């Protein structure tokens, strides 16, 4: 009796069932702070209500919804290029988007069977005209860190107009427009007259997926890109390789995946990678690959002889290997060729170079490394050796004309990095202090620390992610400007294709709104009302987004 209420009042269990099988097994593979036990947030049953902003997610910067309703007839309504637009039918990106959003708006209904009765004059919306203003619509480009995503949307009878300088803004505006349309009780498609001006708060709004700890089939990645577009995310941070497996198929070094992947079937071929990049581009999403070194590289060693440092047990080799071997010229030849390939395969101007969690134990055990340290005058400061390695890698990558992102340790250990390096802050404890330090040193930064979504817990943890204010750290205005955005990270220790989507969505949506909407959009109750509807919309669009709390959607998930 009374299960529900009493259950909800119990304190959370504080145990962590981790590591009991092999104590060491997880230790070196956690790219993460240790999970912090927290007391369960006590759940009041939230009152589900109507938000004045309907189901819009993330909330636009400025929004005026009028009471006047217009109807859309699926058989007549069109998405078209408006007069004066610099993009036309030759812009495949927009053509694809028009078709996609037509389907999102009408596709899941059985409207085809309905009559085509004319609607009373003055109550029908016939078109959405999309007008790209800039001379260069950027239709055939890849999105970049400085892409203009702003748009203006004006819904009035008889046509709605969506204005954007570039196609990227048009994509965001189409998503917003599709979220304004709803079905009334009679099955009619209805939109309120509205005026919207919108642009993102942060330029870098990312999702990190880890395809090394578990392989993610292509379909999983593409589905996730769809969901990202629904939430106005614009960066896929593809943590493509790590200790556990090397699924990236390199043309230059085919043995890396040939020997380092889980199996022949657990590989991303060049065609697969191409497909992900193109699919993302059409949704205004950048793909930033991460090739993390010198740590997190066990799987690299299987297909590349002498790349990793042999560890020693006293006088003899122990048979195991440590981080990349920083003292050999062959290492840098290899890295030069590999990054040359990577920089041409991935069009984005940035590559993520990792650089986190380097374990010095193996380097310390190796007599050749010790000798090298002596020669270089590093003493016993292995951070200097790490620094030496990272420097060389940064030079290699710079020579391919790419910028780079690194995890915060690279900054913390005092590696000399170029002023244009982007530092990603991930360590959970005192990340605000870290943001202060990184920006005071003048570096651009991305925040991931409070948004490790792989750390699951019981209850509505989306509120925790939602309540983060990225600029809430000690620093001057100039420092705050250096925070270019954030990333929701879903590391793969416990995630594969079976649970990826419900674990990520709609929890990542909370981060999506934080990074897009105004700083003052912080009302949890209003957010709950909109997010519940947004998650039902994602279900209808084929995303298996999990529930926020008790309740239902008109159209439950059908994918099972």
Return the residues of window 506-545 that contact other proteins according to CB under 8 A: 539, 544-545
Q: With binding defined as CB under 8 A, does residue 428 bind other proteins?
A: no
Q: Which is nearer to other proteins, 192 or 457 (CB)?
A: 457
- DSSP assignment of 465-533: HHT--TT-SS--HHHHHTEEEEEEEE-STT--TTTHHHHHTTHHHHHHHHHHS-TT---HHHHHHHHHH
- The phi, psi pair for 253, rounded to 5°, reads -130, 70
Report in angstroms how near the CB of residue 414 gets to other proteins at its nearest. 27
Cβ-based burial of 513 (10 A; exposed 0-12, middle 13-18, buried ≥19): buried
Report in angstroms how near the CB of residue 213 gets to other proteins at its nearest. 4
Q: With binding defined as CB under 8 A, does residue 43 bind other proteins?
A: yes
Q: What would the two tokens of residue 389 be? A: 């390695």
Our answer to whether residue 315 is catalytic in this structure is no
Q: Which is nearer to other proteins, 186 or 552 (CB)?
A: 552
Q: With binding defined as CB under 8 A, does residue 421 bind other proteins?
A: no
18, 159, 311, 349: which one binds other proteins (CB under 8 A):
18
Between CA 105 and CA 9 the distance in angstroms is 41
283, 228 contact by CB (below 8 A): yes
Report in angstroms how near the CB of residue 497 gets to other proteins at its nearest. 5
183, 226, 496, 526: which one binds other proteins (CB under 8 A):
496
Q: With binding defined as CB under 8 A, does residue 215 bind other proteins?
A: yes
Q: With binding defined as CB under 8 A, does residue 356 bind other proteins?
A: no
Q: With binding defined as CB under 8 A, does residue 265 bind other proteins?
A: yes
- DSSP assignment of 206-259: EEEEE-SSS---HHHHHHHHHHHHHTT--EEEEE---SS---B--SS-THHHHH
Q: Which is nearer to other proteins, 156 or 499 (CB)?
A: 499
Report in angstroms how near the CB of residue 535 gets to other proteins at its nearest. 9
Spell out the residues 6+ positions from residue 21 whose beta carbon is closer than 8 angstroms to its own: none
Q: Which is nearer to other proteins, 188 or 460 (CB)?
A: 460
343, 501, 517, 529: which one binds other proteins (CB under 8 A):
501
Q: Which is nearer to other proteins, 72 or 453 (CB)?
A: 453
466, 509 contact by CB (below 8 A): no
17, 115, 319, 367: which one binds other proteins (CB under 8 A):
17
Report in angstroms how near the CB of residue 243 gets to other proteins at its nearest. 6
Q: What would the two tokens of residue 521 be? A: 């959009």
Q: How far is CA 492 from CA 31, 202, 216, 222, in A?
A: 10, 26, 9, 17
Q: With binding defined as CB under 8 A, does residue 110 bind other proteins?
A: no
Between CA 234 and CA 350 the distance in angstroms is 14
219, 367, 419, 476: which one binds other proteins (CB under 8 A):
219
Q: Which is nearer to other proteins, 245 or 479 (CB)?
A: 245
Of 157, 183, 341, 357, which residue is the catalytic one?
357
Between CA 315 and CA 97 the distance in angstroms is 63
Binding mask 446-465 for other proteins (x = CB under 8 A): --------xxxxxxx-----
Q: Which is nearer to other proteins, 28 or 144 (CB)?
A: 28
CB atoms within 10 A of CB 395: 12
Positions annotated as catalytic residues are 357
């Amino acid at each position: 009796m009374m299960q529900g209420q009493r259950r909800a009042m119990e304190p959370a269990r504080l145990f962590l069932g981790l590591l009991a099988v092999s104590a060491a097994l997880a230790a070196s593979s956690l790219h993460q702070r240790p999970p912090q036990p927290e007391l369960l947030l006590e759940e009041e049953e939230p009152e589900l209500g109507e938000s004045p902003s309907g189901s819009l997610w993330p909330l636009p910067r400025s929004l005026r919804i009028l009471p006047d309703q217009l109807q859309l007839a699926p058989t007549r309504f069109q998405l078209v290029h408006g007069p004066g637009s610099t993009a036309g039918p030759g812009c495949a990106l927009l053509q694809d988007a028009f078709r996609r959003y037509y389907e999102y708006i009408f596709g899941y209904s059985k409207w085809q069977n309905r009559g085509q009765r004319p609607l009373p004059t003055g109550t029908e919306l016939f078109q959405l005209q999309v007008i790209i203003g800039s001379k260069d619509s950027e239709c055939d480009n890849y999105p970049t860190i400085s892409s203009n995503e702003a748009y203006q949307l004006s819904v009035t009878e008889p046509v709605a107009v969506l204005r954007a300088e570039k196609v990227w803004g048009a994509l965001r505006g189409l998503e917003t427009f599709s979220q304004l349309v709803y079905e009334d009780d009679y099955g009619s498609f209805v939109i309120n007259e509205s005026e919207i001006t919108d642009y993102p708060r942060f330029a870098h709004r990312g999702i990190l997926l880890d395809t090394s700890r578990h392989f993610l089939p292509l379909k999983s990645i593409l589905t996730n890109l769809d969901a990202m577009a629904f939430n106005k995310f614009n960066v896929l941070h593809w943590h493509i390789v790590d200790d556990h497996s090397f699924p990236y198929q390199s043309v230059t070094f085919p043995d890396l995946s040939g020997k380092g992947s889980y199996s022949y079937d657990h590989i991303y071929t060049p065609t697969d990678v191409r497909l992900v990049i193109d699919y993302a581009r059409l949704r205004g999403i950048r793909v930033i690959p991460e090739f993390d070194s010198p740590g997190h590289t066990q799987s690299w060693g299987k297909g590349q002889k002498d790349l990793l440092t042999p560890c020693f047990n006293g006088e003899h080799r122990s048979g195991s290997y440590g981080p990349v071997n920083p003292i050999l010229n062959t290492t840098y030849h290899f890295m030069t060729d590999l990054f040359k390939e990577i920089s041409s395969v991935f069009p984005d101007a940035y590559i993520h170079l990792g650089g986190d969690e380097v374990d010095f134990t193996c380097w310390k055990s190796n007599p050749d490394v010790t000798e090298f340290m002596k020669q270089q005058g590093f003493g016993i400061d292995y951070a200097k050796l790490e620094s030496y390695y990272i420097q060389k890698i940064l030079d290699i990558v710079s020579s391919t004309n790419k910028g780079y992102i690194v995890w915060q340790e690279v900054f913390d250990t005092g590696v000399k990095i170029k002023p244009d390096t982007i530092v990603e802050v991930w360590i959970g404890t005192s990340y605000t202090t870290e943001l202060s330090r990184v920006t005071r040193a003048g570096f651009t930064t991305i925040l991931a620390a409070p948004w490790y979504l792989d750390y699951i817990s019981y209850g509505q943890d989306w509120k925790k992610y939602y309540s983060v204010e990225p600029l809430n750290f000690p620093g001057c205005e100039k420092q705050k400007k250096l925070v270019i955005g954030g990333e929701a990270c879903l590391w793969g220790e416990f995630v594969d294709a079976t649970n990826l989507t419900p674990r990520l969505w709609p929890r990542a949506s909370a981060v999506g709104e934080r990074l897009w909407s105004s700083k003052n959009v912080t009302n949890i109750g209003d957010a709950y009302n909109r997010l519940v509807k947004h998650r039902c919309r994602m279900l209808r669009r084929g995303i298996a987004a999990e529930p926020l709390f008790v309740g239902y959607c008109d159209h439950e998930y059908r994918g099972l």
